[in-house]
């Protein structure tokens, strides 16, 4: 299995190298050249498998010989052992043909644990085999950072630096990053938005001398391995609802476009997904892009679903690559226009292909709160604001296509956003026992300006000498 950059000039890599590389050296994202194809019998055979076994089976086609099958099984078993639900990713019914897939039973209470718990083990193994160390640099709007710190904290071969937007994550999210107290963990509060944090990360990856000296790796969804691990739950959920005999749709709360992109790849592998609905909050750039063909930021708003307060959706580049027939020149042109002019236009043929696979629904702040209230009132289920954006979008899609079951991804535990949840439902959700004292733990974080040079300087001082 080979991976190529969406911009075409970085070297093609095998799985293990793509895993450690993160962002390609030409600024693009690695994507598989071909996808394993899953026929009806192979899909059907996933029914009833423990989640970790299904994950190892699905991932093996992408990993090739870089991680032997037995090691992959051991890794996925360990990665999902700490999840607090026997089904790992349980499906909950909300109304006829409308389901929520609860992806928040992992250690940091968000869907990010699914990929990160596995990614840390895979990276650690490859680093150990090569006798190398790495410096992980990541950006977060709250959940990736917590999941990465939990997964990589204490690992001997990695230092981890996570940039988060100061004042724009929930208290629980911030504390999950700042109370860890492990010497290899650095939570850096940046005076800016998530998009600023991600821009700093990409700028530093683009400084090849710095990147090589620090041995930078990425654990955002710029890293293909993140997308790969997220493909698994689309298969598991669809099979539970009758795939391959029955098509299923998904509504996915979307920000950086990694989670829904995993659904897109699942569909391309043969999973019968009818529609993929991009569910956005008031930061609706993706819904506008689908409508107009112009990708054009307007400025990020703070919402009650802060993890989706994003306008520069990294993984949209992978979709552009696929929709333009894996044409790196077309992608480079669009990304060049974006860098130069602050917007780009999607060529009509690529836009048509995108519209054939995706729909988009914008859920505003009032609708998001109303959805939390409604699900609590009608089902006795407390959901978080991100999941509510997904459920709201799913309801609209279901009205248009009532015969096809739709699954809204439940991306975070309500206790991560207790204020918004309490306002909408009157219920203040409690943190699970392993985090019960989170609000009393001492915090350690550093505030830095919105400036790549300041972050680079901090890394130079604090990263342990790479091997
Ligand atoms: C809780 C939650 N929901 C949804 C999203 C959006 O996911 P993605 O960035 O993969 O589009 C995020 C951020 O990634 C998140 O943390
Ligand atoms: N919402 C995310 C933003 C980063 O997304 P990623 O999937 O690219 O890591 C977060 O919680 O940090």
The residue ranges of every structural domain in the chain are 87-108+224-425
Architecture label for domain 87-108+224-425? 3-Layer(aba) Sandwich (3.40)
Q: What is the 3-state secondary structure (H, E, C) of 333-388?
A: HHHHHHHHHCCEECCHHHHHHHHHHEEEEECCHHHHHHHHHHHHHHHCCCCCHHHH
User: What ipTM does the predicted assembly reach?
Assistant: 0.99
pLDDT at 192 over 80: yes
Can you read off the two tokens belonging to residue 225?
């391995």
Q: Whose CA is nearest to atom 1 of ligand 2?
A: 307
**CA angle centred on 70, ends 24 and 65, rounded to 5°:** 40
182 is catalytic: no
Question: pLDDT per residue over 79-131, tens digit each?
Answer: 999 899 999 999 999 999 999 999 999 999 999 999 999 999 999 999 999 99
- The pTM for the full model equals 0.98
Q: Read off the pLDDT of each residue in 10-26 and give the average, rounded to a whole number.
A: 97
- Percent of the chain's residues with pLDDT above 70: 99
- How many angstroms separate the alpha carbon of residue 282 from the centre of ligand 1? 14
Q: For residue 79, what pLDDT is reported?
A: 98
Is there an atom of ligand 2 within 6 Å of 141 CB? yes
Residue 236 to residue 99: CA distance in whole angstroms: 14
Q: For residue 465, what pLDDT is reported?
A: 62
Question: Interhelix angle for 385-400 vs 365-379, to 10°?
Answer: 80
Is there an atom of ligand 2 within 6 Å of 289 CB? no
Residue 222 to residue 318: CA distance in whole angstroms: 9
Residue 102 to residue 5: CA distance in whole angstroms: 32
Number of the ligand 2 atom closest to the C-alpha atom of 258: 7
Indicate the pLDDT class of residue 339, thresholds 50, 70 and 90: very high
Q: Read off the pLDDT of each residue in 136-151 and give the average, rounded to a whole number.
A: 98
Helices of type H across 222-344: 224-240, 258-268, 285-292, 316-323, 328-341
Q: Whose CA is nearest to atom 9 of ligand 1?
A: 256
Q: What is the DSSP letter of 464?
A: P
pLDDT at 182 over 80: yes
pLDDT at 445 over 90: no
Can you read off the two tokens belonging to residue 63?
């990993």
Question: pLDDT per residue over 195-252, tens digit each?
Answer: 999 999 999 999 999 999 999 999 999 999 999 999 999 999 999 999 999 999 999 9
- Percent of the chain's residues with pLDDT above 90: 98
Number of the ligand 2 atom closest to the C-alpha atom of 198: 4
- How many angstroms separate the alpha carbon of residue 157 from the centre of ligand 2? 23
Taking all residues of the chain, what is their mean pLDDT, rounded to a whole number? 97
Q: What are phi and psi of 22, to 5 degrees?
A: 70, -115
Q: For residue 113, what pLDDT is reported?
A: 98
Q: For residue 466, what pLDDT is reported?
A: 64
């Amino acid at each position: 299995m080979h991976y190529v950059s969406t911009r075409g000039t970085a070297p093609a890599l095998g799985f293990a190298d793509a895993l450690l590389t993160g962002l390609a050296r030409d600024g693009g994202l690695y994507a598989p050249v071909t996808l394993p194809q899953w026929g009806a019998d192979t899909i059907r055979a996933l029914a009833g498998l423990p989640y970790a076994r299904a994950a190892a089976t699905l991932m093996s086609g992408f990993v090739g010989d870089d991680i032997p099958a037995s090691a992959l099984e051991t890794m996925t078993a360990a990665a999902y052992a700490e999840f607090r639900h026997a089904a790992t990713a349980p499906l909950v019914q909300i109304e006829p043909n409308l389901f929520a897939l609860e992806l928040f039973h992992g250690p940091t209470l968000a869907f990010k644990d699914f990929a990160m718990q596995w990614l840390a083990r895979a990276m650690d193994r490859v680093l150990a085999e090569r006798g190398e160390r790495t410096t992980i640099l990541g950006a977060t709007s709250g959940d990736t950072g917590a999941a990465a710190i939990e997964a990589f904290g204490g690992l001997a071969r990695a230092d981890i630096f996570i940039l988060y937007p100061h004042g724009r994550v929930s208290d629980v999210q911030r504390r999950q990053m700042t109370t860890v107290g492990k010497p290899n963990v650095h939570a850096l509060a940046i005076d800016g938005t998530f998009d600023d944090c991600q821009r700093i990360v990409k700028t530093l990856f683009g400084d090849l001398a710095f990147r090589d000296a620090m041995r930078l790796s990425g654990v955002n969804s710029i890293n293909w391995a993140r997308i790969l691990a997220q493909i698994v739950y689309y298969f598991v959920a669809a099979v539970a609802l009758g795939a391959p005999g029955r098509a299923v749709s998904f509504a996915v709360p979307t920000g950086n476009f990694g989670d829904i992109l995993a659904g897109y790849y699942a569909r391309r592998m043969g999973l019968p997904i009818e529609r993929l609905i991009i569910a956005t909050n008031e930061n609706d750039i993706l819904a506008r892009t689908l409508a107009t063909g112009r990708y054009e930021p307007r400025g990020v708003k703070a919402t009650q679903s802060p993890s989706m307060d994003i306008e520069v959706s990294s993984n949209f580049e992978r979709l552009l690559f696929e929709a333009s027939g894996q044409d790196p020149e077309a992608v480079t042109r669009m990304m060049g226009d974006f860098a130069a002019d602050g917007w780009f236009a999607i060529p009509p043929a690529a836009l048509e292909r995108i519209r054939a696979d995706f729909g988009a629904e914008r859920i505003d702040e009032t609708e998001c709160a109303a959805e939390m209230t409604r699900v609590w009132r009608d089902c006795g289920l407390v959901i978080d604001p991100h999941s509510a954006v997904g459920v709201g979008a799913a309801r609209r899609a279901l009205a248009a296509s009532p015969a096809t079951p739709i699954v809204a991804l439940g991306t975070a535990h309500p206790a991560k956003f207790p204020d918004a949840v309490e306002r909408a439902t009157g219920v203040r959700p409690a943190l699970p026992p392993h985090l019960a004292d989170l609000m009393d733990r001492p915090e350690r974080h550093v505030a830095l300006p919105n400036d790549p040079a300041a972050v680079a300087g901090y890394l130079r001082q604090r990263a342990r000498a790479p091997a």
